[in-house]
Structures are given as C-alpha cells and as structure tokens.
A and B are shown apart, each in its own frame.
Chain A
Amino acid sequence: MKTESQIRKEIRQFVVENFLMGDASSMLNDGESFLETGTIDSTGVLEVVTFLEANFGFKVEDRELLPENIDSVNNQVKYVLRKQNAA
C-alpha cells in the first residue's frame, strides 16, 4: 500500500518524464485535464494504463477506462487509492 502523497509523486513524475520529456517547468496543476491541455493525446491514454498497472500492481478493467479515473493527476490518485483499498 502506497500513501496518497507517494502515489501523487509517482504519477506526477511519470507525466513529466513520459509526456513532457523531462520538462518539469511545464507540468500542469493536479486538477487540470490532460486531454484539454493537450498534454496527452488519445494514444497516450494507453501509456497511462500500462504505467498504472505496472507501477501500482492492479489491472485496469475496460469499464474503468474513463476520464473520471484517468484524465488528471487528481483523478488518477483517487482511482489508485480506490483500487488499493478494494484489493
């Protein structure tokens, strides 16, 4: 079980490394939509899924592939916490 702040840190780091190519200065706020800000495109969503599964050790079900779970740092943190608690 990872703490909320640990989860948040890892997700932010993933976004910076993988979508911003290391440019932490252009990191968006935790509540901002990845899609609306153009940070990730539609194929990027699959990279997010791969990351979540590898990093937090659970499987993302097809029905969970929703903006509410994926489309911002905050949404991902909440989603990971829910999945951890359910496990």
Chain B
Amino acid sequence: MPFVCGVAGIFYPESRSVESDVLRRMTRALTHRGPDEEGFHEEPGLGLGHRRLSIIDLSTGQQPLCNEDGTLWVAFNGEIFNYLELRADLEKRGHHFKTRSDTETLVHLYEEKGLDFVDDLNGQFAIALWDRPRRRLVLARDRVGIRPLFHSTLSDGTVLFGSEMKALLAHGAVLAEIDPVAVGQIASLWVTLPPRTSFKGIQELGPGRMLVFESGRRNERQYWRHRFPGEHEYEERSFDYWKERVRDTLHDAVRLQLRSDVPVATYLSGGLDSSILTALVKRHHINDLITFSVGFADARFDEREFQERMVHHLATDHRQIEVNGDDIGAAFTDVIWYAERPMMRTAPSPLLSLAGLVRQNGVKVVLTGEGADEIFGGYNLFREDKVRRFWARNPDSNWRSALLSRLYGYIQRDPKAEVFWRMFFRNGLENVDDPYYSHRIRWNNTAQMKRLFASDFRAQMQSDEALMSDLDAYLDPGREKWHPLCRAQYLEMVLLMSCYLLNSQGDRVMMGHSVEGRVPFLDHRLIELAATIPPKFKIRLLEEKFILKRAFAEILPPAIANRPKKPYRAPIAACFMPGKDNLGAELMRREALEKTGFANAAAFERLMQKAGPEGNTLSERNEMAVATMASLQLLHHQFVTDFQPSRVRVAARRS
C-alpha cells in the first residue's frame, strides 16, 4: 500500500515539454507528506510528481505508476481499502498485475470501467490519472474529502494540481493572495465553500467530485452524495436489526482499514467513539495495541480521567502528551502552514503535537473516531435543534425551554443569567421551515465577529444574501423532504466535517508529521447505512448516539458508555496574549495588525484587554474572533509576506 503521500502535477493544453525543475519544486513542497522518496513521470503535455514514505514494497510500490503498455499513468495519495477484492475480481476478468500495491488496482479498474472506476473504490484518496490515448487528465477525490486535492488554471490554460496549495504556489505563476470572500465565509459558516479556498485563483476539488480535462474542455461532476430517506419513508425494522447492522458494518470497516504492513495505533480521546474503535481493534485484531491521547494542563478542557479509565479497561500501551497555552500558541504557526486557512479554533494545535508524538514512537498509521458524531447524531447542535422545534410548538412553555439547559453543561455560565441564555435560543424560534434552522443561531452569532475586521477589508466580503446564495448552490436540493435531524446532519457533514475537521484537525495536522490517519466511521457503507436508520434510534429523547452506544455497550465500561458528550476544545485568547512567545501573539500586536490591514486594530486591542490578564474571560464568540484573526495573520505572514515552499516546522518540538 502506498501510505503517506503527496501528489503534484502540471498539465499543458498542448504537448509542450514539462519544466522538470518546476515539477520537482512543486512536488518537494509536499515533502512532509512523504519524506523518504519521490517519483516523477514526464511526457509532452504532462508532468506527475509524487512524494512517498517508503515503508514496504520498495521494489514495486513506486509512483507514478503505469499500465503494461505505459498509456495510463496514476499518482495518488491515500488508501484503497478494498483493493484485494477489486484485484481478485479484475484478475478474473483477465487483467495482469505486476505489483502488489493498491495503486495498480486503479489503473486496471479504470481500463475496465472508465470514469466510473471511482464508484467501486472503498477508501480515502486523491487521485491524478492520465489517459494518454485520450489525452485525458482525471482528478478525483474520496466521497467525504478525507484526502485533499487542489487545482489552478493559469491564463494560458496550464493546469496545476497538488495535495496542498503550497505545491501550486511553488510553481511560481500563482502568488498567494488572501480572498476576503473566503474569510467572510469562515466568519459565518466556519468554512469556505469549495471550490473556493483561502487564496484567489486556487480551487479545491470538492469531496465526492471528479474533474476531467479533455480536448480543451473541463468537466466536473459529483459522483457521490449524501442521501437520506424522506421523513416518512423509513424502513420498518426493529431496533435490534439496526443495531446488528451497525455492529457488522463497523466491524468490517475496521477490518478493511487495518490492512497495513506497518503497525497501526489508535487515538483515544476518552469519548465514546474512539473508545469503541480502540476496543474493537484491541479485542479482535491487535492485542499489543498502542494508543495515544492529548491531555490539557487547563482542567476545563482535560479528559485524562476518562482516557485512563479506558486504558485500564482495555490494557493498551498508552502514550500521551500534555499541552498548555504556550504549546498551543507555538504549534499554531505550523498548524496554519499545513492547513493553509484561517480557522476559528486552536483545537488543531494539540493534534499536530500529538502526531509528533506518534511519529517519535515509530508509528505511521493511526485510526481515529472522526465522523461518528456526524453520522450517528452526537453533537449538541442536533439536540438543540430538536429542543427548539419542540419549544416552537409552544413558545410560552417554560419547561420546554428549560430542556436547553441540559445541553450545554460544559459552557461555564452563571445560573442567574439563565433566562437570557434561553433567550439567545429564542431568536428565530418559530422559523421551523428555515432550511438552516439548526445552524442559523451558530452562524449569526459567529458573524458578529465581522465587526472586528477593518471596514475596507470587510467591504470586500460577500453580503449575507450572496453568501446564502452560494451556500444554496453548493448544497444538494430536496433536503426539505428529510427529517430535521438529517437536514442538520447533512449540513454538519458537508460543511464542518468535510471542509474543516477532516483536513485541519485531520489530514493536514497528521501529515505535518508524516502520520496517516484513517477514519473507519467514514467508510461510505457505514455513512450510507447510518443515513437510513430512523432518527428516533439515533437521538432517543435527548440521548445522543443512542444506537451506537447500545450496539457496543458490552465492550465498554459503563462510565464511558453513559458519559455525556463533551466536545473537544482548546484555549484560544490565552495563547496569544501580549508577551506570549509565539509568532501568532506577535502578529496580534497592534502594529502588526495595522500592517496587514485585516483587522480593526483598535477594536482587537480592546478585545485582548477584555480577555483579562490570563486571557480566559472572553465569551465563545470572542474567543473564535481571536483564533480567526491570529490564523489570518499567520496565513498572510507565511504565504504572502514570506513564502518558503520547502520550509520546515518552526515551533520547538517537545520530546
């Protein structure tokens, strides 16, 4: 299997010869994704570059790789988990394999099925495939966007593509220029809507999409999308039936994703999902399993008590790091270098440090519980939506609104202000037909941070109307027929999960240390199964992930199985206070803010004062404003002011 990889390439509209040094420079900007080895394929009109971490199959596993007569070439990043099954099937049809890598499966599958080859893949991938006879370039990305892929078309028609935007910028023709519209989208929706990225002129290939360049045309299509039954069209099946199917499907997803020739470890957060995953792996597959976790010096965010309980229960070989505000602030510079976007959280920082610990322990592949909250209804947002719809049927009911108080126990608040806290959720209560009912409060609240931007930068952002119309256009139609929970799940999956969590808290921070993350809950068979489970089994009354808990109750200690969901969060303003020794803090000083012109510098200075001497007194939305501005400043500094495509990490590493 190819493992940790990076892909880069150039495609010319005419059969021009490739500038080898440029292709090499682009590919080498991705060295962190595959530090040990590189491979190139050049022919008139096309250059493919690949970075690889050599682990196994050194003799035959190199990329780019071609078919027997050299007419098809492929470079890809990721995994095809069902490659053994695909291979057996293709061999029956007469295809001959010369390597044992899953990459070769792609070539033969394409020969067999053409562009529909992606439909048969179970995996996480970004693929660049060259079909010479047709002079066709195919770029494809996995269904939910676990692996990244970007592209850019220059004015002469040349197409650049790569796993990260820094590879495209390394070409030299596209200069990083921050797109104010992208920043405005993040300041409301928390994400940019593909194909838009942080940088003007660079596009993201959206999840589940394929882009084909052929005969001077480009054609993009979505080959997979989330689907839910109509609200009243669920299969009449027993709870036990669904439970059994969840169990079987997750078992099989884990089995496939453990296909690897190097040791696989798991992340153990102390929450339900990673506990289930770890228990499954330990009990059925790897007895000497290594697990990893983050501990926070700040007790508000720490979950070590639960992690240790699970470690004790399963007897895994556990390793952890403890991070404090200084560590988070220091690592944030690198987070932005890898993630290439502004973000409203610092939570990716500890995960970058954790990937460093994984690498130090000689582990290269880690399974994580990402995706379970989205597909099984784990987030508070889903329960909030349910309570508000219930409340909306009788807006004067006191006890209906009192249910909200059960949801956000982890946010510190004064019980005296309870009535105001509820009023916050009263906004738009009756608009239950709003397609964005579940997310509207969050988006409106976040958008308040826009007043902290400089007015002329803000003026270049989209109006609310334009933003919502872009959003409507990006999303699938027909959602009004779905159950409200599914509508909310869909938004959460398509936006935050695919456009933020899987990259900024997943691929990018893990690849920063050449660690490959795998996400069994996002096996598309499990996503599709979960979509058909009646909502009442996902959130039972107000109990989240009910079916998942019941399906795996017997392998978890009760303290974990019955534990209320706690979101993964990290301190923000405390990391960037004046005097903190990190680049983010430096760039948040008034002169630095005035220099870039993104912020209303006076307003930010006031906000940082409001954070108090310890930097811990800001409200959630103000914390998010600080993270957004610090990350925007870091993005600008590292990509616009001082771009060094082959730079290495700057922050001191803990050892």
Contact = CB atoms under 8 A, between A and B. Distances in A.
A30 B156 CA distance: 57
Nearest to B423: A35
Contact of B445 (A38, A65, A67, A71): A38
Contacts of B420: 35, 42, 45, 65, 67, 70-71
B63 to A, nearest CB: 50
B427 interface: yes
A42 B604 contact: no
Interface string A54-82: 00000000100111001100000000000
Interface in B400-426: 413-414, 416-417, 419-421, 423-424, 426
Contact of A41 (B419, B447, B620): B620
A19 B328 CA distance: 27
A85 interface: no
A66 B604 contact: no
B610 A18 contact: yes
A26 B451 contact: yes
B475 interface: no
Contacts of B600: 21-23
B448 interface: yes
B620 A46 contact: no
A53 interface: no
A43 interface: yes
Interface residues of A, number: 24
Given A41-B424, A42-B424, A21 B414 contact: no
Nearest to A44: B619
Q: Interface of chain B, helix or strand or loop or mixed?
A: helix
B607 A41 contact: no
Contact of A22 (B413, B444, B447, B603): B603
A4 interface: no
Given A23-B600, A66-B419, A38 B610 contact: no
A21 B424 contact: no
Interface residues of B, number: 27
Interface in A1-55: 17-18, 20-23, 26, 35-36, 38-39, 41-46, 49
A21 B452 contact: yes
A20 B427 CA distance: 20
B621 interface: yes
Interface string B595-611: 00000101110110010
Contacts of A67: 419-420, 423
A45 B619 CA distance: 11
Contacts of A39: 448
Nearest to B444: A38
A18 B606 CA distance: 8
B416 A36 contact: no
Interface string B239-272: 0000000000000000000000000000000000
A82 to B, nearest CB: 19
A61 B606 CA distance: 29
A71 B600 CA distance: 27
A46 B419 CA distance: 12
Interface in B152-207: none
A38 B440 CA distance: 12
A41 B447 CA distance: 12
A21 B607 contact: yes
Given A17-B606, A22-B603, A38-B445, A43 B413 contact: yes
Contacts of A43: 413, 417, 619-620
Contact of A45 (B417, B445, B447, B602): B417
A81 to B, nearest CB: 21
Contact of A35 (B427, B451, B610): B427
A73 to B, nearest CB: 16
Contacts of A66: 419
Nearest to A62: B416
A42 B603 CA distance: 21
A78 B420 CA distance: 19
Contacts of A36: 427
B617 to A, nearest CB: 9
A67 to B, nearest CB: 6
Contacts of A62: 416
A8 B488 CA distance: 42
Interface string B259-295: 0000000000000000000000000000000000000
The 7 lowest CB-CB distance pairs between A and B, nearest first, are A21-B603, A42-B421, A45-B420, A43-B619, A45-B417, A42-B424, A21-B606
13 contacts: A20-B451, A21-B602, A22-B600, A22-B602, A23-B451, A35-B427, A41-B448, A41-B619, A41-B620, A42-B417, A43-B620, A45-B421, A65-B419
Given A18-B610, A62-B416, 5 more contacts: A22-B606, A35-B424, A36-B427, A41-B424, A67-B423
